[in-house]
Amino acid sequence: MDSIFFIIAFGALVAGFSQGLSGFGFGLVAMSFWAWVLEPQLAAALTVVGGLTGQIVAAFTVRRGFDLKLILPFIIGGLVGIPIGVYLLPMLDIYKFKTILGVFLILWCPFMLFANRLPKLTNTHRFFDALAGMGGGVMGGLGGFTGTLPTLWCTIRGFDRDTQRSIIQNFNFAMLIVVLISYISNSLITRNMLPYIYIVSPIVVFTSYFGTKMYHGISQQRFKQIILTLLTFSGISMLVTSLPHFFQ
């Protein structure tokens, strides 16, 4: 039991700092630690709570202009996707969950590492922004990964650093509130989870705060490269351990 609390705390520490620095990624970073030892529903609940806590801290420490025209398609799509993810969450077992997450990490992280070298889609219809938001909503319902697909899409769109952070930070804040309400209303967050939540929340407050303070001080791209490389290897490890059970 003590080792589980340690892994939860360490995952919250690394993920909180990463989110504070880059504006996204709490779910993926935390899950690379938690998916090994926690049931999917508990891991998802902690990810949502931790991610929302980090976004609240960021809202007060890294303020960016709220551009409703840019963010509205993402939010509309996200609101459509969240119920789908919440509906699918109870159907997942631990080995299928780790397999899906491992495949996603292996595909998504290397792509993000080289995304800056790809052609930018500067002129696209807002419908595709909504689709990215819907993907974020589905992933949010499954485990609090609300910003993953929208961040990838914003990178492909070629948004500058501050514009992307503004979109993702506000999108994540709105979506995680809706996901948390959905989890509570569907009894996916229980009293038994409270001791773990009490560990995650204060850690994320402090680490996310320090991450946001370093946002302007160090290279975000360099830190992102390190995190994405580690996550890629985490995905490979998850597949190695889960695929035999998955095929059984």
Nearest of 50, 44, 35, 38 to residue 1 by alpha carbon: 38
Q: Residue 107: what pLDDT?
A: 84
% of the chain with per-residue pLDDT over 70: 89
Distance of CA 45 to the CA centre of its chain: 12
CA-nearest of 124, 136, 123 to 77 is 136
In the structure, what pLDDT confidence band is assigned to residue 73 with cuts at 50, 70 and 90? very high
pTM of the model: 0.79
Q: Which two tokens stand for residue 110?
A: 């290397």
Identify which has the larger pLDDT, 42 or 155.
42
pLDDT digits (tens, 9 = 90+) for 91-131: 877 677 778 778 888 887 787 777 666 666 667 778 999 99
Total number of domains constituting the chain: 1
Which residue shows structure tokens 């850690």? 203
Average pLDDT (8-18) is: 91
Print the domain residue range for 56. Answer: 2-247
From 6-10, 72-76, 206-210, 233-237, the region with the lowest mean pLDDT: 233-237
